[in-house]
Amino acid sequence: MCIQELSTCLQYDLPIKIINLNNSALGMVKQWQDMQYDGRLSQSTYEDSLPDFVKLTESFGHVGIKVEKPEDLESAMKKCFELKDKLVFLDIVIDEDEHVYPMLEAGMAMDSMWLDKKTKTWE
Protein backbone atom coordinates (compact mmCIF):
# COMPACT_ATOMS: atom_id res chain seq x y z
CA MET A 1 0.00 0.00 0.00
CA CYS A 2 1.09 3.53 -0.65
CA ILE A 3 -0.42 6.80 0.49
CA GLN A 4 -1.72 7.60 -3.01
CA GLU A 5 -4.26 4.79 -2.69
CA LEU A 6 -6.06 6.77 0.00
CA SER A 7 -6.40 9.68 -2.43
CA THR A 8 -7.63 7.43 -5.25
CA CYS A 9 -10.23 5.86 -2.96
CA LEU A 10 -11.46 9.32 -1.98
CA GLN A 11 -11.62 10.49 -5.60
CA TYR A 12 -13.64 7.48 -6.73
CA ASP A 13 -15.61 7.02 -3.48
CA LEU A 14 -14.35 3.47 -2.91
CA PRO A 15 -15.56 2.14 0.46
CA ILE A 16 -12.90 -0.52 0.86
CA LYS A 17 -11.53 -1.92 4.11
CA ILE A 18 -7.77 -1.89 4.68
CA ILE A 19 -6.28 -4.03 7.44
CA ASN A 20 -2.72 -3.17 8.45
CA LEU A 21 -0.98 -5.74 10.67
CA ASN A 22 1.42 -3.30 12.26
CA ASN A 23 4.57 -4.82 13.74
CA SER A 24 6.55 -1.58 13.25
CA ALA A 25 8.64 -3.25 10.56
CA LEU A 26 8.78 -4.45 6.98
CA GLY A 27 7.11 -7.68 8.07
CA MET A 28 8.37 -10.28 5.63
CA VAL A 29 11.79 -8.65 5.26
CA LYS A 30 12.24 -8.71 9.04
CA GLN A 31 10.97 -12.30 9.22
CA TRP A 32 13.40 -13.41 6.53
CA GLN A 33 16.32 -11.67 8.24
CA ASP A 34 15.34 -13.20 11.57
CA MET A 35 15.13 -16.71 10.10
CA GLN A 36 18.17 -16.61 7.83
CA TYR A 37 20.55 -14.39 9.77
CA ASP A 38 19.87 -15.38 13.39
CA GLY A 39 17.92 -12.23 14.19
CA ARG A 40 20.51 -9.81 12.81
CA LEU A 41 18.35 -7.09 11.30
CA SER A 42 19.24 -4.45 8.75
CA GLN A 43 16.94 -1.58 7.78
CA SER A 44 13.74 -3.53 8.43
CA THR A 45 12.40 -1.99 11.66
CA TYR A 46 10.82 1.43 12.12
CA GLU A 47 9.51 1.78 15.70
CA ASP A 48 9.32 5.56 16.24
CA SER A 49 9.50 6.67 12.60
CA LEU A 50 6.14 5.27 11.47
CA PRO A 51 3.31 7.73 10.86
CA ASP A 52 0.11 7.72 12.87
CA PHE A 53 -1.90 5.69 10.35
CA VAL A 54 -5.24 6.71 11.88
CA LYS A 55 -4.49 10.43 11.54
CA LEU A 56 -3.08 9.90 8.07
CA THR A 57 -6.24 8.07 6.99
CA GLU A 58 -8.48 10.68 8.56
CA SER A 59 -6.58 13.46 6.77
CA PHE A 60 -8.01 12.03 3.53
CA GLY A 61 -11.55 12.06 4.96
CA HIS A 62 -11.65 8.33 5.65
CA VAL A 63 -12.16 6.44 8.92
CA GLY A 64 -9.14 5.19 10.84
CA ILE A 65 -9.29 2.75 13.75
CA LYS A 66 -6.32 1.64 15.84
CA VAL A 67 -6.43 -1.66 17.73
CA GLU A 68 -3.77 -2.06 20.40
CA LYS A 69 -5.22 -4.91 22.49
CA PRO A 70 -6.46 -8.31 21.26
CA GLU A 71 -9.68 -7.95 23.25
CA ASP A 72 -10.57 -4.83 21.21
CA LEU A 73 -10.23 -6.53 17.82
CA GLU A 74 -13.73 -7.97 17.54
CA SER A 75 -15.51 -4.68 18.23
CA ALA A 76 -13.18 -2.83 15.85
CA MET A 77 -13.85 -5.35 13.07
CA LYS A 78 -17.59 -5.07 13.68
CA LYS A 79 -17.44 -1.27 13.46
CA CYS A 80 -15.28 -1.49 10.35
CA PHE A 81 -17.79 -3.61 8.43
CA GLU A 82 -20.81 -1.68 9.70
CA LEU A 83 -19.46 1.40 7.89
CA LYS A 84 -20.42 0.06 4.49
CA ASP A 85 -20.18 3.40 2.67
CA LYS A 86 -16.78 4.45 4.09
CA LEU A 87 -13.18 3.49 3.53
CA VAL A 88 -11.93 2.16 6.87
CA PHE A 89 -8.26 1.67 7.72
CA LEU A 90 -7.75 -0.76 10.62
CA ASP A 91 -4.29 -0.35 12.16
CA ILE A 92 -3.85 -3.52 14.22
CA VAL A 93 -0.76 -3.44 16.43
CA ILE A 94 0.83 -6.89 16.67
CA ASP A 95 3.92 -8.20 18.42
CA GLU A 96 7.09 -6.99 16.72
CA ASP A 97 8.41 -10.57 16.55
CA GLU A 98 5.25 -12.11 15.06
CA HIS A 99 5.94 -14.31 12.02
CA VAL A 100 3.67 -15.55 9.24
CA TYR A 101 3.50 -19.30 8.59
CA PRO A 102 3.51 -21.37 6.55
CA MET A 103 6.13 -19.49 4.53
CA LEU A 104 7.16 -20.50 1.03
CA GLU A 105 10.61 -19.46 -0.19
CA ALA A 106 10.94 -17.97 -3.65
CA GLY A 107 11.59 -20.64 -6.26
CA MET A 108 10.66 -23.54 -3.97
CA ALA A 109 7.97 -26.15 -4.59
CA MET A 110 4.61 -25.86 -2.84
CA ASP A 111 5.52 -28.74 -0.53
CA SER A 112 8.78 -27.05 0.54
CA MET A 113 7.81 -24.54 3.17
CA TRP A 114 8.69 -23.27 6.62
CA LEU A 115 6.14 -24.38 9.22
CA ASP A 116 7.79 -22.33 11.96
CA LYS A 117 11.14 -20.67 12.59
CA LYS A 118 13.01 -23.97 12.88
CA THR A 119 10.89 -26.47 10.90
CA LYS A 120 11.25 -26.93 7.15
CA THR A 121 9.14 -29.52 5.34
CA TRP A 122 12.02 -30.45 3.03
CA GLU A 123 14.61 -31.39 5.66
Instruction: For each of the domains in the chain, give its residue range(s) and CATH number, in order of start.
Output: 4-114 (3.40.50.970)
Supply the pLDDT for residue 44: 60
Supply the pLDDT for residue 43: 64
Residues of the chain with pLDDT > 90: what percent?
Answer: 48
Taking CA atoms, 14 is separated from 49, 63, 66, 68, 85, in Å, by 29, 12, 20, 26, 8
pLDDT tens-place string over residues 40-93:
767 666 777 888 999 999 999 999 999 999 999 999 999 999 999 999 999 999
Q: Which residues of 32-48 are buried (b: 16+ CB within 10 A; e: fewer)?
A: bbbbeeeeeeeeebeee
Supply the pLDDT for residue 68: 97
Average pLDDT (16-25) is 89
Average pLDDT (4-26) is 91
Judge contact between 13 and 61, C-beta under 8 A.
no
Tell me the three state secondary structure of residue 27: helix
Give the residue from 22, 19, 18 showing the smallest Cα distance to 93.
22
Q: Is the pTM of this model over 0.75?
A: yes
25 or 107, which is more confident? 107
Identity of the amino acid at 71: E
Give the residue from 50, 123, 23 showing the smallest Cα distance to 31.
23
Average pLDDT (34-42) is 71
Judge contact between 18 and 87, C-beta under 8 A.
yes
